[in-house]
Amino acid sequence: MNMKHKAFFLLVTGLAMASFAPCSNGNAETELLSLKNTYKNEFLIGVSVKDSQFMAKNPAETAFVKGQFNSITPENLLKWDAVHPQLGKYRFEESDRFIEFGNKNGMFIIGHTLVWHSQTADWVFKNAQGGDVDRETLLARMRDHIQTVVGRYKGRVRGWDVVNEIMEENGSLRKSPWQKIIGEEYIAKAFQFAHEADPTAELYYNDYRLEVPGKRKGAIALLRKLKAAGVTVTGVGLQGHYDLNWPKPQEVDETIADFGRLGLKVMITELDVDVLPSRPGGAGNADVSRKEAADPKLNPYKTALPEAMQQKLARRYAELFGVYLKHRGTLSRVTFWGLTDGDSWLDNFPIKGRTNYPLLFDRSYHAKPAYFAVIDAVPVAPVNSPSQPQPAVRR
Ligand code: 9MR
């Protein structure tokens, strides 16, 4: 066991003993091997969290999040339906605790997400008669939502996913209720309202499968237009919901370069690597889903991921981080979508109830080979060579 891996062993041993408090004294934290320390000269390393990871229900998890990551994104609790469930009614108890946790621990907090077609209740788009609300009313609702939410966390949330998943795969704009009722201008307006509410916050467009050339082309055209119109857009989030084969490293490379050329920061905002077989054919109802989950061909690793697959996943993460490191400077953050495999949305999508292994930590919080592949992707500078750039800390 080499030194850096040994440090991590101490971390997980501490967790298993349930007496884990790596941050309880100033020195302990710096002795641990962590993603955030390893990548501190490269880019931020973030994670999406569910409530238990910051509400101190589970101190070991909280310590884990603090020990490994320097940025956090709420997986669900800042979405419209969570904070703004009814007209004129906001609910901030959970998000306040989340922000407090992030601020207290000096983390770069991401607000996810302001304007999305999903997890937004129907009332937002409806009038009192149940028909579509008119354009001006919808714009006013959007302004109220953005200014209330962004305004509340002004100076505390460092970056917002202002618009989420707004493009179709063919590069046209998604025909969401926002688009249908307000028209394309809803995008510029969302950025404008967010900028007014917090001029210091970074503002992002976040989407999946931007590695697909047609979708990327549409996104680039849109971002050019927004920039030409003087709209404040800081960056673009590539969600990074990948599998073992897609996208190819070269496609990731080109995608980051393409957006970087627009003068935007690029982030990987929701990284995970699906290792399960894809569903044959289209969507099914819940019953079909349950049957599929029981089918060993579609849920082949119910009890454990075989070593050969662990290694394959590790190689996949190594190749992705190889590309990310090439773009240090343009790439400002890599955020994982979930802490452990047991937290992942991919256990229930696109088929409910499967056992997936998309992240760096297993269901017992142990680091997988993929974790060490990510750690080892950062080149170590030769010892005693002050002219070299400082390597990530290795203790
Ligand atoms: O991980 C989130 C899951 O818990 C929610 O049920 C789901 C609802 O749509 O949203 C998931 O997160 C999504 C993110 O907000 C936007 N990009 C895709 C993510 C995975 O679906």
| pTM confidence score | 0.91
| Any atom of ligand 1 within 6 Å of the Cβ of 75 | yes
Q: Output the pLDDT for position 27.
A: 42
What does 320-385 look like in DSSP terms, one character per residue? HHHHHHHTBTTEEEEEES-SBGGG-GGGSSSSTT-----SSB-TTSPBPHHHHHHHHTSPPPPTT-
Q: For ligand 1, what atom is nearest to the CA of residue 112?
A: 15
Q: Determine the Cα–Cα distance for residues 181 and 172; give it in Å rounded to an integer.
A: 16
Contact 197, 154 (CB under 8 A): yes
Dihedral sign computed on CA atoms, order 263, 392, 333, 354: positive
Region of 171 on the Ramachandran plot (φ > 0 left; ψ -120 to 50 alpha; else beta): left
Q: Determine the Cα–Cα distance for residues 395 and 393; give it in Å rounded to an integer.
A: 6
Ligand 1, atom 19, residue with closest C-alpha: 270
| Any atom of ligand 1 within 6 Å of the Cβ of 272 | no
CA–centroid distance, 107 to ligand 1, in Å, is 22
CA–centroid distance, 4 to ligand 1, in Å, is 33
pLDDT digits 0-9 by tens, 245-257 = 999 999 999 999 9
pLDDT digits 0-9 by tens, 32-72 = 799 999 999 999 999 999 887 777 778 888 999 999 999 99
CA–centroid distance, 111 to ligand 1, in Å, is 14
Q: Output the pLDDT for position 248.
A: 98
| Consecutive 10-residue averages of pLDDT for the chain (395 residues) | 50 39 36 90 96 77 94 97 97 95 96 96 96 98 98 98 98 98 98 98 98 98 98 98 98 98 98 92 58 88 97 98 97 98 96 96 96 96 49 32
Q: Output the pLDDT for position 293.
A: 84
Q: Determine the Cα–Cα distance for residues 313 and 320; give it in Å rounded to an integer.
A: 11
Q: Output the pLDDT for position 21.
A: 30
Q: Output the pLDDT for position 58.
A: 82
| Any atom of ligand 1 within 6 Å of the Cβ of 335 | no
Q: Output the pLDDT for position 31.
A: 52
Q: Determine the Cα–Cα distance for residues 202 and 157; give it in Å rounded to an integer.
A: 9
Q: Output the pLDDT for position 32.
A: 77
Q: Output the pLDDT for position 4.
A: 55
Ligand 1, atom 21, residue with closest C-alpha: 345
Tell me the domains of the chain and their CATH numbers. Answer: 35-376 (3.20.20.80)
Extract the tokens encoding 27: 């020195």
